[in-house]
Chains A and B, each alone.
Chain A
Amino acid sequence: MSTDLKFLIVDDFSTMRRIVRGLLKEIGYNNAEEAEDGAVALNMLKNAKFDFVVSDINMPNMNGFELLSAVKADASLKHLPVLMVTAEARKEDIVRAAQDGAAGYIVKPFTKATLEEKVQKIMQKLATAA
């Protein structure tokens, strides 16, 4: 498993960003940066190379759905896998995320095992497609 992937963690709660970052580190991914909302994240994605986005949905300025749409609409970013990690548990939100191009969807509260499983599944899928 490649552990030099660069992650962008997007969440308006610094605590959750820190938890996701800590879990990614325990899984073996040490390279991660953080953004407090979709707008900041999009700017970072356009100005630096990232390999994976882990994003909340309910955020100020630009929410996770808007970020997902913006990423998928940008030719230089649309290849990026976006894993939604959110408290939004409505089925229509999950369906919308899938239709908009999310690579995965995790509902909070979640476990390290769930995050690890989803990240590995997405990376395997990308490796197969490549």
Chain B
Amino acid sequence: MKMDTMATLAPPTAAASPEVFQQLGVITRQLHDTLMQLGVIPKLQTAADNLPDARSRLNYIAEKTGAAANKVLNSVDQAKLEHANIAADTRRIAAAIVADPVKAVASGSVMNFVGDVEAATARIDLHLTDIMMAQDFHDLTGQVVAKVVALASDLEDSLVKLLVQAAPPEQVQKVESSILNGPVVNPEGRTDVVTNQGEVDDLLASLGF
């Protein structure tokens, strides 16, 4: 938005009032002093300086885990296809043997089947190895996660301190309830969360579902 447009939109009385600017200056100073007394600003500054690094670390984790997941799913798709082919071939050769065992062997169908199974199992073994190797992201990302967690912990300390000081008591609950929490990492001792699908079903049943 252009500056002249903003000037047009701003209420002329407020913009022209020196008292408003003075009050804003006082509030800003009070906020700055409070943050300094709490020791929040230096910590926040450090955390903010490290955020770009943390962002790139998190992107790294997202890329590694995403690539691993796709690699695994692709390998599973391929292995299941091989498995389905073996199952179909087995049914086919079994029917041929039941119908005419001599012909099935003499025509080479049985040996062809044996060869096909051997080749398919070798390919499935490669897919299983790929799945195993795709798990290497865990080691790599685990180290990165530890560093990001340390940064997040510092940031959380600072922000919680700020929130406790700044938020009216009746607003704190509102803020908390608006946050979707994601997976529950430590459910022990908590009564506000469920820990398995059975508890979900029990709760829904108590509601008439």
Contact = CB atoms under 8 A, between A and B. Distances in A.
- Tell me whether A and B are bound partners: yes
Interface of A: 14-15, 18-19, 22, 57-58, 63, 87-95, 98-99, 104-108, 110, 114
Contacts of A63: 180
A93 B184 CA distance: 13
B203 A91 contact: yes
A114 B183 CA distance: 18
Interface in B185-209: 187, 192-197, 200, 203-204, 207, 209
Nearest to A98: B207
12 contacts: A19-B73, A58-B180, A87-B182, A89-B181, A89-B183, A89-B184, A89-B193, A92-B192, A94-B200, A95-B207, A104-B204, A107-B196
Nearest to B208: A98
A78 B180 CA distance: 24
A62 B196 CA distance: 26
B66 A105 contact: no
B70 interface: yes
Contacts of B181: 88-90
A87 B185 CA distance: 10
B182 A98 contact: no
A112 to B, nearest CB: 12
B131 interface: no
Q: Which 9 A-B pairs have the closest CB atoms?
A: A15-B69, A87-B183, A58-B180, A89-B193, A89-B184, A89-B194, A98-B207, A90-B193, A87-B182
A110 B183 CA distance: 12
Interface of B: 66, 69-70, 73, 177, 180-184, 187, 192-197, 200, 203-204, 207, 209
A91 B207 contact: no
Contacts of A14: 66
A105 B198 CA distance: 11
A89 B191 CA distance: 11
Nearest to A26: B80
A107 B50 CA distance: 34
B180 A105 contact: no
B184 to A, nearest CB: 5
Contacts of B187: 89
Nearest to B70: A15
A90 B182 contact: no
B70 A106 contact: no
Nearest to A88: B180
B73 A107 contact: no
With most chain B CB atoms within 10 A of its CB, the pick from A18, A106, A107, A110 is A107
A102 B206 CA distance: 15
